[in-house]
Amino acid sequence: MKISFYKYQGAGNDFIMLDGFSTSYDSGLDHRVVAALCDRRFGVGADGLIIINPLEELLDFEMLYYNADGKPGSMCGNGGRCAFQFARDLRIISDRSEFLATDVHEAFLHDDGNISLKMSDVKQVERLDARTFVVDTGSPHFVRIVDDIDAVDVFREGRAIRYSDAYKEKGINVNFIEILSDRIRIATYERGVEDETLACGTGVTASALVSMELNLLNGKIRVEAKGGTLFVEAERNTGNGQYVSVWLTGPAVKTFEGTIETEDIQRS
């Protein structure tokens, strides 16, 4: 099968994008095809694959997200911004949008080219100990505060936590964060990719909420990932501890496009 694809990235978190408006992907894609496309040596290479499909509802489009292992994924913050920019480039939307990605999300374009995406409300920041938290920001995240992010072996330590008895069945994304006086530095091991990624939008969001929970940072929180800088804003409901009006802001850029024959890249 010949597939026309587009490649986008948000802070180095990269995705293969497929246009479901011009080609029908109603039944999705076989997980082996997705995994082959995302393979960085034998395919196009990406942290995940996204299809945007038309909707009959009063929303602009539906975003379907697949992890690099080919399995359907949960919400992806950087992917959501890339889907918004992809839809803009296809002239499906203009500078504002509401679309479906598990939940309904809003997004809009800033004058500087950055995109803000409204994330799901977060029910709680669960504290495991003084430096360790679990936060569900649309995807589950384990967050550990460290003294020096550069001293962390993200792949080894992240993989050990992700496949520990507590999380190996359903999986969890693992974030190591260094909280400074004016910003956060972060490194993330992502489930589904099963490796460190240059950025993770839902992980960046989780890290910012942890810093808010500890009353260390507030307002527009700057989070520096290895692939670029993102910003998070949220409001805390003091009555129930939930975080609402959670916004993730950062870049989303098209890098190239092409066509590929899936039969040529699938391996036994």
Beta strand segments in the chain, E: 2-10, 13-19, 48-53, 62-67, 96-101, 103-109, 115-118, 125-129, 132-136, 140-145, 173-179, 184-190, 195-197, 221-225, 228-236, 243-250, 253-261
- The helix/strand/coil state of 208 is helix
Alpha carbons 201 and 231: distance in angstroms, whole number = 10
Provide the CB-side half-sphere exposure for 240 (13 A, CA). Answer: 7
pTM of the model as a whole: 0.94
Kindly state the average pLDDT of the residues 14-37. Answer: 91
**Residue, of 251 and 267, whose pLDDT is higher:** 251
**Residue ranges of the chain that CATH labels 3.10.310.10:** 2-114+253-266, 125-250
Residue where the block lists tokens 């977060």: 122
Residue 223 in contact with residue 101, Cβ under 8 Å?
no
Statement: 2-114+253-266 belongs to CATH 3.40.50.620: no
Give me the CATH code for the 125-250 domain, please: 3.10.310.10
CA distance 78 to 101: 12
Query: What angle in degrees, to the nearest 10, is found between the helix axes of 77-89 and 201-213?
Result: 130
The band of 268, judged by pLDDT with boundaries at 50, 70 and 90, is very low
Q: Catalytic residues, which ones?
A: 76, 200
Write down the pLDDT at residue 26: 67
Quick: pLDDT tens for 207-235: 999 999 999 999 999 999 999 999 999 99
CA 8, 13, 16, 20: dihedral to nearest 10 degrees? -80
**Residue 185: pLDDT above 80?**
yes
Beta bridge partners of 188: 175, 197
Indicate if the pLDDT at residue 267 is higher than 80.
no
* Three-class SS of 41-73: CCCCCCCEEEEEECCCCCCCCEEEEEECCCCEC
- C-alpha span between 33 and 251 (Å, rounded): 28
Phi, psi torsion values for 15, nearest 5 degrees? -140, 145
Distance from C-alpha of 31 to C-alpha of 52, rounded to nearest angstrom: 17
pLDDT, tens only, 106-139 = 999 999 999 999 999 999 999 999 999 999 999 9
Give yes or no for a contact between 45 and 39, defined as CB atoms under 8 angstroms apart: yes
| Banded model confidence at residue 74, pLDDT cuts 50, 70, 90 | confident
